[in-house]
A and B are shown apart, each in its own frame.
Chain A
């Protein structure tokens, strides 16, 4: 009763939008919110572009002096101010290759087991553990690499490879412990979780009808997986491998700690080497002179280019598969 009285008395109820009237009411608040959040969203874009510009500008000296020759020059000599990136490009590619050779079969195998063959509960538990492995900081892998993996490679794994595969140049020469092989091994463990968890997701996104069809026609579980599910998931799994490769190329700390830190190109996997990320981490603070520093920044630019392109390709592949599967379902 009282409310209707006041309304009748002509006192308009003080509503919320009125408090914001000077902004144009609720609409004004919404407009401001839209603009503020837009600015925040654009900050991501700004940071990304800014990062590229900053690296581009801060490597100008080195880019002008060495040009594209920078990438194929094999001498890195800070004392004489001569900088070539080839040993680092080589080390980066070789360690990543070793990592992929080990982690791709293991990772895809594990993903097949987790998605297709394991009982649900076991699969969930194991996936949980694998994803925790992805959370382990790089420097911790490096620590374990220095004090556990290096001695193991020096005393058992290296000599073993030498006796079995010693006729291949890759496995000749003295085994120091730290080197390309060790870095590759540590990298393999670090990228494994990415291959496993993304490939598993991809496999799970394949419509269940495909499996049922294959099984109904009398194929075994393995045949249904290998001949029906895998071909459907192939592109996406390739994508997960690319993602892992991008990780392996850009990985810094663990590699820096076990790769041996020598700018050389050696046919042997036992030899110490250097990767792009490792040389930046090692030498950036002690770089004297603009050209030295800018050469390191240019290495960073090269690394950025490689990983960003790989990552972009990987995303497209993964997305293509999951969307195709969703469309089919």
Chain B
């Protein structure tokens, strides 16, 4: 084989090899979706969505309380993480000097990288120990702590995509800085910020580890914010490890619902963001 043929062969072989790697990188998603659909779809019915769990070992029942509980926890997380995150992002992009944004960005980076189980310990120490019992509040706080750095970073990035001349125009017309931010800058990237928040919520919605010893679990409806509360991820975890066939069936169903919601939010928001990028490029 002469040298050129050899080089072309290597080129062809490596193209195929890397293509196979790419294929291997996407197949797990298809596998996961496939398994969840096959094993979970048949168990999703009206009872599953509206009933409470049956006592251990009994067949039937549902996860209505876990679905509501996940909603409750996400609401709490959003109440904690979104306002702080958006305001913080505004500071970093609009007011920040040199030192504070650098420090805060670094802290946000670190906080995002903290393992979720450690966030759980933190929320346990801060809320559960002080209150003396497990509660929805503690779970919501844990998820909020995870949400905060993501929202800060996202908000800052989207604010930075707004061109400077928009701000200059507003300032030149005599508006103050805050006025400019609220009525010019934020409306210009509102969609992006909102999508970023949704993505962040979708991400913490699937978190289990921070809830294990904060929100704990609950077989009944949670009364108020001070009680332990069930959530879909924790239910999936506990049902998957239980020895009952019927619980396994329900774990698959719950996982399918959770994954469907998470992926739906991801796909939709990516489409929105892609269209936004495209329209910007056209303009």
**Chain A interfacial positions (CB closer than 8 Å to B):** 16-17, 26-27, 29-30, 32-34, 36-45, 47-51, 54-55, 58, 105-110, 112-114, 117-118, 126, 128-133, 135-144, 146-148, 189, 192-193, 196, 220-223, 226, 246, 249-253, 257, 277, 280-281, 284-285, 296-297, 300, 303-304, 307-308, 311-312, 315
B148: which A residues are within 8 A, CB to CB?
43-44, 47
- B11 x A113 contact (CB < 8 A): no
B143 → chain A closest CB, angstroms: 13
Q: Within the complex, which residue of A37, A38, A137, A307 is in contact with B259, where a contact is CB–CB below 8 Å?
A: A137
Stretch at the interface among B45-53, B61-69, B200-208: B200-208
- B176 x A189 contact (CB < 8 A): no
Given contacts A106-B21, A135-B262, A147-B240, 4 further A-B contacts (CB under 8 A): A48-B110, A126-B25, A144-B36, A277-B115
A137 → chain B closest CB, angstroms: 3
Alpha-carbon gap, A48 to B104, bound state (A) = 10
A134 → chain B closest CB, angstroms: 9
Alpha-carbon gap, A62 to B17, bound state (A) = 50
B135 → chain A closest CB, angstroms: 14
Given contacts A137-B208, A137-B258, A220-B7, contact A196 B25 (CB under 8 A): yes
- A55 x B121 contact (CB < 8 A): yes
- A246 x B113 contact (CB < 8 A): yes
Q: In this assembly, does B255 line the interface, its C-beta being within 8 Å of a C-beta of chain A?
A: yes
Stretch at the interface among B84-92, B160-168, B184-192, B218-226: B84-92
Q: Within the complex, which residue of B11, B24, B108, B213 is in contact with A220, where a contact is CB–CB below 8 Å?
A: B11
Contact digits for B251-283, partner A, Cβ 8 Å, 1 yes 0 no: 110010011001100110010000000000000
- A257 x B240 contact (CB < 8 A): yes
Q: Within the complex, which residue of A30, A126, A146, A223 is in contact with B178, where a contact is CB–CB below 8 Å?
A: A30
Given contacts A44-B108, A44-B152, A55-B118, contact A117 B18 (CB under 8 A): yes
- Interface class of chain A by DSSP: helix
A277 → chain B closest CB, angstroms: 5
Q: Within the complex, which residue of B20, B31, B35, B95 is in contact with A34, where a contact is CB–CB below 8 Å?
A: B95
Contact digits for B224-264, partner A, Cβ 8 Å, 1 yes 0 no: 00000000010011001100000010011001001100110
CB closest chain-A residue, reference B206: A137
A38: which B residues are within 8 A, CB to CB?
91, 95, 100
- B117 x A41 contact (CB < 8 A): no
Q: Within the complex, which residue of B19, B26, B84, B240 is in contact with A43, where a contact is CB–CB below 8 Å?
A: B84
- B29 x A132 contact (CB < 8 A): yes
- B262 x A138 contact (CB < 8 A): no
Q: Within the complex, which residue of B10, B103, B113 is in contact with A311, where a contact is CB–CB below 8 Å?
A: B113
Q: In this assembly, does B83 line the interface, its C-beta being within 8 Å of a C-beta of chain A?
A: yes
- A47 x B111 contact (CB < 8 A): yes
B36: which A residues are within 8 A, CB to CB?
140, 144
Alpha-carbon gap, A216 to B74, bound state (A) = 55
How many chain-B residues does the 8 Å CB contact rule pick out?
93
Q: In this assembly, does B15 line the interface, its C-beta being within 8 Å of a C-beta of chain A?
A: yes
- A47 x B145 contact (CB < 8 A): yes
Alpha-carbon gap, A220 to B15, bound state (A) = 11
A32: which B residues are within 8 A, CB to CB?
178
Q: Within the complex, which residue of A30, A130, A133, A250 is in contact with B115, where a contact is CB–CB below 8 Å?
A: A250
A214 → chain B closest CB, angstroms: 13
Q: In this assembly, does B79 line the interface, its C-beta being within 8 Å of a C-beta of chain A?
A: no
CB closest chain-B residue, reference A246: B113
Q: Within the complex, which residue of A41, A296, A312 is in contact with B87, where a contact is CB–CB below 8 Å?
A: A41
A221 → chain B closest CB, angstroms: 6
Given contacts A37-B90, A45-B103, contact A253 B109 (CB under 8 A): no
Alpha-carbon gap, A296 to B125, bound state (A) = 12
Alpha-carbon gap, A148 to B34, bound state (A) = 12
19 CB < 8 A contacts A-B: A27-B176, A38-B95, A39-B87, A40-B90, A45-B107, A50-B126, A117-B19, A128-B270, A131-B270, A132-B263, A137-B206, A138-B207, A140-B36, A192-B28, A223-B11, A252-B116, A253-B237, A280-B117, A311-B109
